[in-house]
């Protein structure tokens, strides 16, 4: 009984942490952004969050776009991975298509940029 009662509170706590990580993606510190990207990667790869993400996909997409454009190496690689997970979470519907289509040109430019790190190009 107590497990069922604590679940909504746990879910709210998880969502609050995700919101914090999303806010941290706009931090000036590259280390802080990378830590936030790692936390988002872990969350998106371990739990279905499509409803939470549906409401915040544009904000998250904008933040990931900035990480891909301005970041270097590890940050770009993490942003690419988080973006992939975001598209998977959104599914094959119009929302997932929109996220992918909006960032496809940027992803292609990172992929074809010979000066980008191999890990960023791979991700």
Q: Is the pLDDT of residue 75 over 50?
A: yes
Residue 1 domain-assigned (yes or no): no
Helix residue ranges, H only, the chain: 2-24, 30-46, 50-70, 73-90, 94-112, 118-122
Residue 78 domain-assigned (yes or no): yes
- At 32, which CATH number? 1.25.40
Q: Of 45, 46, 26, which Cα lies nearest the Cα of 36?
A: 26
Each residue of 25-72: pLDDT tens digit? 999 999 999 999 999 999 999 988 888 998 999 999 999 999 999 889
Round to whole Å and give the CA distance between 90 and 119: 24
DSSP character string of 23-57: HHTT-S-HHHHHHHHHHHHHHHHHS--HHHHHHHH
Residue 13 domain-assigned (yes or no): yes
Residue 96 domain-assigned (yes or no): yes
Round to whole Å and give the CA distance between 67 and 53: 18
pTM: 0.85
Q: What range does the domain containing 70 cover?
A: 8-122
Residue 105 domain-assigned (yes or no): yes
Count how many domains the chain has.
1
Q: Of 54, 38, 52, 41, which Cα lies nearest the Cα of 91?
A: 54
Round to whole Å and give the CA distance between 104 and 86: 13
């Amino acid at each position: 009984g107590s497990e069922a009662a604590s679940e909504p509170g746990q879910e709210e706590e998880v969502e609050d942490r995700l919101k914090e990580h999303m806010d941290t993606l706009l931090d000036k510190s590259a280390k802080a952004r990378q830590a936030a990207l790692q936390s988002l990667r872990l969350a998106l790869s371990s739990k279905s969050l499509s409803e939470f993400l549906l409401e915040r996909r544009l904000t998250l997409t904008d933040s990931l776009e900035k990480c891909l454009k301005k970041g270097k190496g590890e940050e770009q690689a993490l942003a690419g991975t988080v973006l992939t997970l975001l598209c998977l979470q959104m599914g094959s519907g119009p929302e997932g298509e929109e996220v992918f289509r909006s960032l496809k040109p940027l992803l292609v430019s990172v992929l074809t940029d010979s000066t980008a790190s191999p890990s960023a190009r791979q991700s």
